[in-house]
Amino acid sequence: MVSLIPSPDTVMQMLKRTGAFREGHFVYPTGKHSPNYFQMPLAFRYYDTARVLAVALSRKFRVERDISSQLPKIAIISPSSGGIPVAFGVRDALSAEQIYWAEREANGKRMFRQYVNQGEVNPCIIVDDIIRSGHAIEETAALVKELGAKVIGCGAIVRFTSAPSEFEGAPIKSLVEFDAHMYDDGEACGDCKKDSPIEHVRF
């Protein structure tokens, strides 16, 4: 029998197969070193994989009475471009009425791509492809509140265990909780000690 929500192991296999998760010796633009690298859009380039992941995440929201009872009058919101395919997939699975996405302006401030006004946003679920620090979710929730709307759920395909596990008392939903190893510099990095070749990557 096909399980309704794939296990974290199955999801990790999908991420590996698509190149969205890699193991090696990576250095980020911040100078931090890590043996793991996620590039989630590589998983979302395959439509079937994208659909399986988004449907699975949607099921974690649908079981919440506070969410299912408000359908379809809810909005699915992505904090950035990386979350847009997740947002569309979750919207589709839940038949939610609205979809919005935010992006960072040149001044660094996060804004909704749609120029919406007070009262136009339904109670919302914020979804992203990956939650590394939780800042993107927090900034997006602040935008939602400025517009007088309520956040009724948050989630992502992968959540780093270093990020918050709840948002305002509600657990953050994810398909995988990943214990990411990050080292501030080469001094602290085990792979540097082994002289393994470095690959420079962007977020």
Query: Which residue has its beta carbon closest to Zn ion?
Result: 189
Q: Is position 189 an interface residue for Zn ion (rule: CB under 5 A)?
A: yes
- Sequence-distant (6+) residues with CB within 8 A of 169 are none
Tell me the per-residue interface mask from 130 to 169 with Zn ion, x by CB under 5 A, - otherwise: ----------------------------------------
Q: Is position 37 an interface residue for Zn ion (rule: CB under 5 A)?
A: no
Question: Is the CB of 12 or the CB of 192 nearer to Zn ion?
Answer: 192
Burial of 109 (0-12, 13-18, 19+ CB in 10 A): exposed
Q: Which stretch binds Zn ion (CB under 5 A): 1-9, 28-36, 61-69, 150-158?
A: 28-36
Q: Which stretch binds Zn ion (CB under 5 A): 41-49, 104-112, 146-154, 191-199?
A: 191-199
Q: What whole-number distance in Å separates Cα of residue 53 and Cα of residue 159?
A: 14
Q: What whole-number distance in Å separates Cα of residue 32 and Cα of residue 185?
A: 5
Q: What whole-number distance in Å separates Cα of residue 125 and Cα of residue 150?
A: 9
Look-up of token digits 């510099």: 185
> Whole-number minimum distance, CB 188 to Zn ion, in Å?
8
Task: Figure out which of the listed residues 33, 60, 91, 132 binds Zn ion, where binding follows CB under 5 A.
Answer: 33
Q: What whole-number distance in Å separates Cα of residue 153 and Cα of residue 86?
A: 14
Q: Is position 192 an interface residue for Zn ion (rule: CB under 5 A)?
A: yes
Query: Which residues make up the interface to Zn ion (CB under 5 A)?
Result: 33, 186, 189, 191-192
